[in-house]
Amino acid sequence: MQIIEINTHLLYHELEQPFQSSFSTFKARFHCLVEIICDNGIVGWGECLGSADINAAVVKSMSSLNIGHNPLNIEPIWQSVYNQYRDQGQRGPIHTALSGIDIALWDIAGKYFDAPIYQLMGGAYRMEIPAYATGGFRQEGCDHQQSCIEEMVARVEEGFKAVKIKIGFGVKNDIETIKALRQALGGDIEIMIDANHGYDTIDAIKIGCAVEQFNIEWFEEPVIPEALDAYQMIRARQPLPIAAGETWHGRYAIQTALEKNSVDILQPDVCGVGGLSEARKIITLCEVNHVRLVPHVWGTAVALAAGLHFHAIIPPMPICHNEYSPKLEFDRTYNPFRQSIVTKPIEHKNGVVPVPNGPGLGIEINKSMLKEFLPK
Ligand SMILES: [Mg+2]
């Protein structure tokens, strides 16, 4: 079996209602899929996290290194491609592009061996993943507190037992929003807060101390991801568990963050960290550093499927009668192609999502839908 073609597919949809994290405004949904075609007709799919057009350019640049190779040599391909590009980036687009390629190669391997990816990677600890609803962005031109609470009440009515909202819109505003959200949801729903590195150390510590009383599960990306010493300081000077890792790509960046004791919860994204091959290595780093691993997920059904296979193979740490299961991040913001590009949508039932059980990623791409969302 040989790789004969590597394509990227850009998916684009302009939003009628743009939404905001602490520092960015999402005016469109824009994602990049990777398609790898083999000479025997097997096709694998992957997805890259982050800027879709940059990822597509880097995947294109990497493609010539892979054409003609046996796609089952996933690790040698990963190592040789990364080695060619490591001088230009030990994190960022090199890793996000390589992630899409790596996931597509695992999809091919699964189809070739007629086995789900989680099986090829050593087997599943769980086949149903409890999910949390991600949302609560600030809708442009709307009152954040009101729209955030309405949205999260709806998610709980849908069956989610845990929700994550965006903060980073001012200390006072954020504290009031979190207080009102806890009152609206009652005591049994888990609440996570994500500042998307919109604060400095002083304000992050203020927020963490002020909202502890509202029983917050974790405080995500309080400050910029480069500031590892600040993460360590925030952990020491406020009471909430600190989570981060969606921008720490590759084993070296993550090892550095773990050596600095930056987080209580590490959040690598399969589509950014270097694909499923690298994600599996990150499991070992978390084990030896004794850090909880709860992956980040953001993208289409391809990213969701890859994330579910990753969740399936994360061992409980420790194995015990009352094991902690890492929750699946389930983005509930509007994205018309998230599920329509696959023949069978990945959905939750009462906040629980099954791991796809078919060969490879266990999904089938609806290719005619890809054309519907081509960038204009
Ligand atoms: Mg985040």
Query: pLDDT for 82-120, tens place per residue?
Result: 999 999 888 899 999 999 999 999 999 999 999 999 999
Residue 153 is predicted with a pLDDT of: 98
- Ligand 1 (ion): which residues have CB within 5 A? 194, 220
The domain locations on the chain are 3-115+367-372, 119-354
Q: Tell me: domain 3-115+367-372, CATH 3.30.420.40, correct?
A: no
Tell me the CA–centroid distance for residue 368 and ligand 1, in Å.
Answer: 31
Residue 373 is predicted with a pLDDT of: 94
Residue 24 is predicted with a pLDDT of: 94
Tell me the CA–centroid distance for residue 221 and ligand 1, in Å.
Answer: 6
Tell me the CA–centroid distance for residue 196 and ligand 1, in Å.
Answer: 6
The pLDDT of 213-236, averaged and rounded, is: 98
The share of the chain scoring above pLDDT 90, in percent, equals 96
The single residue of 144, 249, 296, 348 carrying the catalytic annotation is 296
Residue 376 is predicted with a pLDDT of: 82
The pLDDT of 205-213, averaged and rounded, is: 98
Q: How confident is the model at residue 144 (pLDDT cuts 50, 70, 90)?
A: very high
| CATH fold for domain 119-354 | TIM Barrel (3.20.20)
Tell me the CA–centroid distance for residue 265 and ligand 1, in Å.
Answer: 12
Residue 70 is predicted with a pLDDT of: 98
Tell me the CA–centroid distance for residue 294 and ligand 1, in Å.
Answer: 11
Residue 14 is predicted with a pLDDT of: 95
Picking from 2-11, 88-97, 346-355, which range would have the lowest pLDDT averaged per residue?
88-97
Residue 296 bears catalytic tag:
yes
The share of the chain scoring above pLDDT 70, in percent, equals 100
Q: How confident is the model at residue 133 (pLDDT cuts 50, 70, 90)?
A: very high
Tell me the CA–centroid distance for residue 275 and ligand 1, in Å.
Answer: 18
Q: How confident is the model at residue 374 (pLDDT cuts 50, 70, 90)?
A: very high
Q: How confident is the model at residue 267 (pLDDT cuts 50, 70, 90)?
A: very high
Residue 178 is predicted with a pLDDT of: 98
Per-chain mean pLDDT for the chain: 97
Residue 323 is predicted with a pLDDT of: 86
Tell me the CA–centroid distance for residue 290 and ligand 1, in Å.
Answer: 21
Residue 81 is predicted with a pLDDT of: 97
Residue 324 is predicted with a pLDDT of: 85
CB 188: neighbour CB atoms within 10 A? 8
Picking from 73-77, 179-183, 332-336, which range would have the lowest pLDDT averaged per residue?
332-336
